[in-house]
Amino acid sequence: MKNLVLGIDVGGTNVKLGIVDAKGKILARSAMPTKPYNRNKTLLIKAIFTQVRALFNNSKISLKQLTGIGIGLPGAVDPFKGLVIFLPNIPGWKNVPLRAIFEKEFRVPVLLENDVNMITLGEWKYGAGKGKNDLLCMTLGTGVGGGLILDGQLYRGASFVAGEIGHMPINENGPHCNCGGWGCFEQSVGNRQLLEKISRIFGSTTLTIPDVHSLALKGDQKALKFFKETATHIGNGLVGVVNLLNPPLIIIGGGVSNNHRFLFPTINQVIQKRAMKVQAKLVKIVHAKLGDDAGILGARVLLAEGLKKRS
Ligand SMILES: [Zn+2]
């Protein structure tokens, strides 16, 4: 056995790791909390080093079989310089040469990428996007993220932060957003906003989105209405993307997407009604297939694709 890739998915809450073989199978995995090591970046990096070695030891796989590492990070990354530019939810990370730090430790090629781009790469090659040359992958969670495959390649943008679909303005005057703008898409379909809405509708601050899903399954009218309105917001946000990029496929993942049976029909209807006819006719909305594994499998794709400049 050889040619193994290590995927590391760094999040604000957890760091997930997985060893991936040449066929895209995850042979071993582990996770560690981020917060205990949040005080400074050296602490977190050292903890990840320890976790990597433990993962290989515990699964009885030799580090000698490792041929590359792909690291997904929740923020702005310069994959070409191997720099973590800034992580909004993990303090102390500014212009960190993480690629060089990992290459020195493990002596294999290392590539960095934004976490949603990594998920997009994973879904593209191993999940819901197989065989497509163009797609949008959107993640619905606390944040609303997006990754783009255009002309058979990850589209990063001029400073590597393209795809921020959650920060498309959909209101001229809407609420202030963490990104510095206002009226962003995320402000109407992010987790926090959905929970606030649930508490307004049901008069309960403890009700979760899965609770509302259970109610909808029983035919509860308020729950069904909540999902219909949420889906309408999501659909409206996607209409602009459909018109602009003419994608054949939109993959929707993240926690909120688990309610797809109550969301996708309305999302589709809104797109069919509001988007331009040629684009609307083509586009398909599908649920992400890989769940939490997408980011780890994306590491394998990232290493295989390398850092091509767009032709
Ligand atoms: Zn924003």
Q: What percent of the chain has pLDDT over 70?
A: 99
Question: Do 257 and 235 share a structural domain?
Answer: yes
Same domain, 143 and 173: yes
Report pLDDT digits (tens) over 74-125: 999 999 999 999 998 888 899 999 999 999 999 999 999 999 999 999 999 9
CA distance 242 to 237: 9
Helix extents (H) in the chain: 41-58, 98-106, 115-126, 186-189, 191-202, 209-217, 221-245, 260-274, 277-282, 294-305
Q: Are 118 and 288 in contact (CB under 8 A)?
A: no
Query: Which backbone phi and psi does 20 adopt, to 5 degrees?
Result: -115, 130
- 173 lies in the same domain as 99: no
Q: How far is the CA of 187 from the centre of ligand 1 (A)?
A: 7
Q: Rounded to the nearest whole angstrom, what is the distance from the C-alpha of residue 181 to the centroid of ligand 1?
A: 5
Strand order through the sheet with 76-78: 76-78, 83-86, 94-96
pLDDT of residue 88: 86
- Between the CA of 188 and the centroid of ligand 1 the distance, in Å, is 11
pLDDT digits (tens, 9 = 90+) for 117-134: 999 999 999 999 999 999
Q: What is the pLDDT of residue 32?
A: 96
Q: Does 23 map to a domain?
A: yes
CA 136 to ligand 1 centroid distance, Å: 19
Sheet of 153-154: strand order equals 153-154, 144-150, 135-140, 249-253, 284-287
With respect to residue 232, please indicate whether it lies within any of the assigned structural domains. yes
Question: In this structure, are 108 and 21 located in the same domain?
Answer: yes
CA 92 – ligand 1 centroid, Å? 22
Q: Residue 165 Cα, ligand 1 centroid: separation in angstroms? A: 9
Residues 171 and 233 grouped into a single domain: yes
Q: Say how many Å lie between the CA of residue 131 and the centre of ligand 1.
A: 32
Ion ligand 1: residues, CB within 5 A, are 167, 177, 179, 181, 184
Q: How confident is the model at residue 253 (pLDDT cuts 50, 70, 90)?
A: very high
C-alpha 252 to ligand 1 mean position (Å): 19
Residue 221 Cα to ligand 1 middle (Å): 31
Q: What is the pLDDT of residue 265?
A: 97
CA of 21 to the centre of ligand 1 (A): 37
Would you say residue 309 lies in a domain? Answer: no
- Cα–Cα dist 304/126, whole Å: 13
- Render pLDDT for 181-198 as a digit per residue (tens, 0 to 9): 999 999 999 999 999 999
- Tell me what percent of the residues of the chain surpass a pLDDT of 90: 90
If asked whether residues 100 and 164 sit together in one domain, one would say: no
Assign 1 a pLDDT band (cuts: 50, 70, 90): low
| CA 259 / ligand 1 centre spacing (Å) | 24
pLDDT of residue 309: 75
Based on C-alpha coordinates, what's the Rg of the chain? 20
The answer on 107 and 138 residing in a single domain is no
Q: Model-level pTM greater than 0.85? A: yes
Q: How far is CA 79 from CA 68, 154, 156, 172, 275, in A?
A: 15, 12, 10, 34, 34
Q: In a 3-state reduction of DSSP, which class is residue 72?
A: strand
Domain of 84, CATH number, reads 3.30.420.40
